[in-house]
Structure 1
Amino acid sequence: MEGAKVLIIQKSLPHYRLTFFEGLRRFLLTKGVELSLAYGNGNKEDQKKQDLVKLDWAIPYENEVFSVAGKELYWQPLLHLVADFDLVVVEQANKLLLNYMLMVRKKKNGFKLAFWGHGIAENIGVSKTSKLWKQRLFHQADWWFAYTRGVADLLSRFGIDSSIITVVQNAIDTKKLQADFEAGSQEELDLIKETYNIKGNCLGIYCGGIYEEKRSAFLLDAVIAVREQIADFEFIVVGAGCEDFYWKNAALAYPFIHYLGPQFGAQKAALLKLSDVFLCPGLVGLAVLDAFVTQCPLITTDYRYHSPEVDYLEHGYNGLITDNTLDDYVQEVVALLEDEQRLNEMKTACAISAAKYSIEHMVDNFGKGILSALQPTLNTVS
């Protein structure tokens, strides 16, 4: 295995992945394994986010992105590279045409193929046909890097041998947020309350992108209902997106709602530290790590379109997952806010979970999975 070469292919390289790839490269070098990363320029939507970065030791390339029957497809011009590697790791996505070529050529070129993905993602607008096609391709990989334990369990139910599945525990680097959270003083928190005219001592927050899957209309109704039961309750909204008009208008209509737009660094950490609960009845993804680090228990619903990272949320321990009804959601939020002991216990559990789901653990999990995938095996897909 020493001297083995591994290639990871990504259609883009967002800033939040830098720490992971740097850490993974260092981990593998200590084992005598060389990691290469090929990254594309994404699509127009990726580029609009303005968070794509470069990496001096990696291989940049240009995606060819086009539409067929209303479906976006990618061509990644990297076939000339793959024969030089022992293991090629690709994103598990129907729209990546190179993946199909690699499935066909891996035996001839002598490399193993690994998928890194969600299994079957539940997203608004994803057709049943797309999900079935994704399912049919499950067995075309020699190894799987599953985002979470829930994804691994799903793969096992579809007949993927658990011995070729690595649970990655997908994460981002939260060290800066942790440091900002710990550094925030009571004087700074008081100044924030004064600056934004926050008078209540019972605070909820939403922090993240504001778009359809986040369910702003549901959340706004919930916040108003909570306020009707807890007179001291106020709500902070941090973020932006195509549906942020809900909160711009709500902040004008309700003095207890404070829409602050995007916030970053120490300011974001302080706002989360100031808050008692993180309310997100819609899609939960990596924002759950922000909630853990800042000890602000996240409350969501059993919404069908969550990202895999919702697996990290343990109902009644480090957060809540309520029934997907407004009445149940409001009832659970109010009950937690009125139970100081339970809320403090949940905050402590958040801190424990923050240590468990870290970028360091993700690097370790992924690195060990690569080492296992490189071992000779009898169950390699032909």
Structure 2
Amino acid sequence: MTSRVVYVFPISHRFRLPFHERLRRVLEKDGVEYTVCYSAPFGENLKKKDTVDISWGHKVSLLKLWKGALLQLAFWDILSSDLVIIQQENRLLVNYVCQLLSMLRLKRVAYFGHGRNFQAGNTNSIGERWKKFWATKVNWWFAYTDETKDFISKLGFPEARITVFNNAVDTNELQQHARSISSDQLQMLRSELGLCGKNVGVYVGGLYREKRIAFLIDALDKIRASIPDFEFIFVGGGPDLSLARAAAETRPWVKITGPKFDREKVALMLLAKVFLMPGLVGLAVLDAYSMGLPVFTTDYPYHSPEIAYVIPGATGAITQPWGSADAYAAAVIDALRRDDELVRMSSNCREQATKFTMDEMVSRFSRGVVQALNG
């Protein structure tokens, strides 16, 4: 008899589509029907332009309620499934319906998440205490990293029911794109952007407050003052895109492309030597590694779990203190002045990319789904 698993989430991000596609195919071989339930993008996600529809998924209405609470009308998908996977967010009201069903032993429910809010200013806030309370009210956990597993297990949740999947993007696809781009095509792109120097940096991702775009612009000026041919490319969209555009108006060496994906994104990264992201670091680190780009960030206290993938001195730098643009710029300047160091770091980045792949993530996740169904 076929088991049915549904993953319920509010927004379908483009970068997750390969994961869902592959997971569906792998689980089908185990006699498991996998589907997803999501809603139309809203708010900042519309500005980022990084969402996508899933042809075989179920798109449902989403009600925006008081103080940011969201209610997805996913009740039929939930009731008709053998396992429901939900995202660990306090504002998702459908989660509480699922967890109450789990506590009554009427439904198997799994959490997908970080364990805690890595961007929370106060780890003992009401919101964080509420999240901890509900963190153990599920049957299974899909944890981003070992750090998440340690956090959840310390709350009393059994380690045997935690699957660490090591969050990843499709680095193989990115590398395939890279191999398909010729040096002539890259030279044409350089000309189109008006790049003249050999020292190019790049930022790829959403542009919003936690990414510290104003700080980055300050640091770019300091780098340019020491490296006269330094140029920079902003790739992405979001509410702080206006900051980057304003900077470019008075700095012809700063280029703005807006959101780019797949092969176009890869081509832009191939023009660079370093990947700069002084604010919140997440999955973008694997985009950088797949292109052999060292990642330069700060010890910002609100990074996502993927900050664990950055190895200072080997695959980039995490500068201190996180409020110092001088310290951040100095690390980048030092690297750009030492070609041998950049070559060494680039090699380390490519090696690190092989450790966190989409195939490995899907393999771990699918094993966890089967265990959760049978456990």
TM-score by shorter chain over 0.5: yes
Q: Tell me which amino acid in the other structure corresponds to 1:92.
A: Q
Q: Tell me which amino acid in the other structure corresponds to 2:331.
A: E
Aligned position for 1:120: 116
Aligned position for 1:341: 340
After TM superposition, give the deviation of residue 144 of structure 1 in Å.
Answer: 0.7
In the alignment, structure 1 residue 72 sits paired with structure 2 residue 71 = no
- For residues 197 and 153 of structure 2, what CA distance do their matches in structure 1 show? 48
Contact 1:90-1:99 within 8 A present in 2 as well: yes
Unmatched runs of 5 consecutive residues or more in structure 1: 377-382
In the alignment, structure 1 residue 62 sits paired with structure 2 residue 58 = no
Q: Residues 258 and 41 (structure 1 numbering): CA distance in 2 closer, same or farther, change over 3 Å? A: closer
Contact 2:299-2:319 within 8 A present in 1 as well: yes
After superposing the two structures, state which structure 1 stretch, 120-129 or 173-182, moved more.
Answer: 120-129
- For residues 55 and 272 of structure 2, what CA distance do their matches in structure 1 show? 40
Q: Tell me which amino acid in the other structure corresponds to 2:110.
A: A
Paired residue secondary structure (2:86): strand
Q: Residues 302 and 286 (structure 1 numbering): CA distance in 2 closer, same or farther, change over 3 Å? A: same
Aligned position for 2:20: 21
- For residues 48 and 139 of structure 1, what CA distance do their matches in structure 2 show? 34
Paired residue secondary structure (2:68): strand
Q: Tell me which amino acid in the other structure corresponds to 1:170.
A: N
Q: Tell me which amino acid in the other structure corresponds to 2:148.
A: V
Q: Which of 241, 244, 248 is equivalent to 1:247? A: 244
Contact 2:202-2:275 within 8 A present in 1 as well: yes
The CA deviation string for residues 261-300 of structure 1, in whole angstroms up to 9 with x for no partner, is: 3344444322211211011101112211210111111100
The CA deviation string for residues 115-143 of structure 1, in whole angstroms up to 9 with x for no partner, is: 11121113378882211110111111121
- For residues 346 and 272 of structure 1, what CA distance do their matches in structure 2 show? 16
Q: Which of 97, 102, 120 is equivalent to 1:101? A: 97
1:64-213 matches, within 5 Å, as 64-67=63-66, 71-108=67-104, 110-123=106-119, 128-213=125-210
- For residues 56 and 257 of structure 1, what CA distance do their matches in structure 2 show? 38
Aligned position for 2:357: 358
The CA deviation string for residues 238-270 of structure 1, in whole angstroms up to 9 with x for no partner, is: 233322333323323234333333344444322
Q: Residues 56 and 340 (structure 1 numbering): CA distance in 2 closer, same or farther, change over 3 Å? A: closer
Q: Tell me which amino acid in the other structure corresponds to 2:287.
A: D
- For residues 344 and 113 of structure 1, what CA distance do their matches in structure 2 show? 46
Q: Residues 326 and 81 (structure 1 numbering): CA distance in 2 closer, same or farther, change over 3 Å? A: closer
- For residues 262 and 56 of structure 2, what CA distance do their matches in structure 1 show? 28
Number of aligned residue pairs: give it: 372
- For residues 92 and 244 of structure 2, what CA distance do their matches in structure 1 show? 36
- Per the normalisation by structure 1, the TM-score is 0.88
CA RMSD across the alignment: 2.4
- For residues 241 and 33 of structure 2, what CA distance do their matches in structure 1 show? 44
Paired residue secondary structure (1:144): strand
Aligned position for 1:379: none
- For residues 267 and 44 of structure 1, what CA distance do their matches in structure 2 show? 25
Q: Residues 124 and 21 (structure 1 numbering): CA distance in 2 closer, same or farther, change over 3 Å? A: same
- Per the normalisation by structure 2, the TM-score is 0.90
- For residues 254 and 80 of structure 2, what CA distance do their matches in structure 1 show? 57
- For residues 55 and 237 of structure 1, what CA distance do their matches in structure 2 show? 28
Paired residue secondary structure (1:137): helix
- For residues 116 and 96 of structure 2, what CA distance do their matches in structure 1 show? 17
Q: Which of 295, 306, 309 is equivalent to 1:309? A: 306
- For residues 177 and 184 of structure 2, what CA distance do their matches in structure 1 show? 14
Aligned position for 1:256: 253
Unmatched runs of 5 consecutive residues or more in structure 2: none
Aligned position for 1:220: 217
The CA deviation string for residues 25-83 of structure 1, in whole angstroms up to 9 with x for no partner, is: 2111212222232223354544565554443433332122212xxx2112233445544
After TM superposition, give the deviation of residue 16 of structure 1 in Å.
Answer: 2.7
